[in-house]
């Protein structure tokens, strides 16, 4: 209980500081005005189209089927990971990921079951954006892509190379089948995030900035195989997942959030002569 109150106290303080900050420009976000516009567009599309479909999918499709669909697409992604393992000369990891692909494609029935994971072969992710980082292209400007969301110029290049050069998608001749599977992958991925709505949905501070910073740190974490300035094995993106579930569990916590929001209400700040 005490630990919970401490978390809420720190949350309130962080909200207050966020509301009083001057919001300086981020050095990796020179196109912030454009990015914010695209971010707003993506939010509208998600709210009006993607999220409702994903919610329906999550509500009415049995959970074992959802798990199988996620595993299936994850297994297809192993092809991209293996290709980038080789380009980064991570032969040990390439062997690991190839073993996952073979086991799950056969015993796991085309990837519907993550048998390899049960055998201790944990899933990894490599992409061409990470490969470019390994090759020396470390700093890249932040870029929000229409419909696809947070990225960088480097990761945008990587996304294109991965799709056309190191994935199964171009090999699917039927446009209907290819786009149908891509759509299902999108809905399944979005549905998996519904229970991980962030604390941002509750306190409504500068969501764009926090997501941008978390994304950039997350990509650094992946590109350095977890050897960056974070605790070993601790992905900074985890801070955005599921935290609001704990915060919303009690009325007392919600009151703390409401009080913090009131503290940084723009009208309050403008009328207060002592506001920083």
For 53-89, what is each residue's pLDDT tens digit?
999 999 999 999 999 999 999 999 999 999 999 999 9
From 19-23, 160-164, 225-229, the region with the lowest mean pLDDT = 19-23
Q: How far apart are CA 86 and CA 90, in angstroms?
A: 6
Residue (of 33, 75, 38) closest to 156 by Cα position: 38
- Residue 258 has a pLDDT of 52
- Residue 273 has a pLDDT of 39
Q: What is the pLDDT of residues 31-60, one digit of tens each?
A: 999 999 999 999 999 999 999 999 999 999
- Residue 206 has a pLDDT of 83
Q: Which residues 6+ apart lie within 8 Å of 147 measured at CB?
A: 42, 45
From 10-19, 27-36, 178-187, 195-204, the region with the lowest mean pLDDT = 10-19
> What is the rounded average pLDDT for all residues in the chain?
81
pLDDT band at 236 (very low <50, low <70, confident <90, very high): low
- Residue 184 has a pLDDT of 97
Q: Read off the tokens for 1.
A: 């209980």
Give yes or no for a contact between 38 and 78, defined as CB atoms under 8 angstroms apart. Answer: no
- Residue 207 has a pLDDT of 85
- Helix ranges, 115-206 (H): 115-118, 128-134, 153-165, 175-192, 200-203
Q: What is the pLDDT of residues 107-126, one digit of tens each?
A: 999 999 999 999 999 999 99
Q: Does the pLDDT of residue 237 top 80, yes or no?
A: no
* 3-state secondary structure (DSSP) of residue 145: strand
Q: Does the pLDDT of residue 187 top 50, yes or no?
A: yes
Q: List the Cα angle 245/246/252 in 5-degree steps.
A: 110
Give yes or no for a contact between 134 and 127, defined as CB atoms under 8 angstroms apart. Answer: no
Helix/strand/coil (H/E/C) assignment for every residue in 106-124: HCCCCCCCCHHHHCCCCCC
Give yes or no for a contact between 108 and 115, defined as CB atoms under 8 angstroms apart. Answer: yes
| pLDDT, mean of residues 1-24 | 48
- Residue 243 has a pLDDT of 44
Give yes or no for a contact between 202 and 247, defined as CB atoms under 8 angstroms apart. Answer: yes
Range list of β-strands (E), the chain: 142-145, 149-152
What percentage of residues in the chain have a pLDDT greater than 90? Answer: 64
For 188, list phi and psi in degrees, rounded to 5.
-65, -40
Give yes or no for a contact between 133 and 223, defined as CB atoms under 8 angstroms apart. Answer: yes
């Amino acid at each position: 209980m005490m630990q919970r109150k401490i978390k809420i106290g720190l949350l309130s303080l962080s909200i207050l500081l966020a509301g009083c900050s001057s919001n300086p420009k981020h050095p990796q976000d020179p196109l912030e005005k454009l990015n914010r516009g695209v971010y707003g567009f993506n939010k509208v599309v998600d709210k009006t189209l993607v999220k409702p479909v994903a919610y329906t999918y999550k509500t009415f499709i049995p959970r074992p089927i959802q798990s199988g669909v996620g595993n299936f697409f994850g297994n297809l992604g192993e092809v991209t990971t293996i290709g980038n393992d080789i380009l980064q000369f991570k032969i040990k990891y390439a062997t690991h990921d190839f073993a996952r692909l073979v086991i799950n494609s056969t015993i796991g029935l085309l990837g519907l079951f993550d048998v390899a994971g049960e055998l201790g072969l944990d899933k990894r992710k490599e992409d061409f954006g990470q490969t470019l980082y390994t090759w020396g292209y470390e700093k890249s400007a932040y870029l929000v892509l229409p419909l696809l969301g947070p990225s960088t110029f480097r990761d945008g290049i990587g996304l294109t190379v991965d799709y056309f050069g190191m994935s199964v998608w171009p090999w699917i001749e039927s446009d209907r089948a290819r786009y149908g599977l891509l759509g299902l992958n999108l809905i399944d991925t979005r549905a998996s995030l519904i229970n991980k709505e962030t604390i941002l949905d509750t306190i409504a501070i500068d969501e764009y900035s926090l997501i941008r910073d978390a994304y950039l740190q997350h990509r650094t974490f992946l590109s350095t195989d977890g050897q960056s300035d974070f605790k070993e094995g601790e992905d900074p993106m985890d801070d955005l997942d599921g935290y609001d579930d704990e915060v919303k569990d009690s009325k007392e916590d919600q009151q703390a959030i409401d009080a913090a929001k009131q503290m940084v209400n723009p009208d309050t700040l403008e009328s207060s002569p002592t506001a920083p």
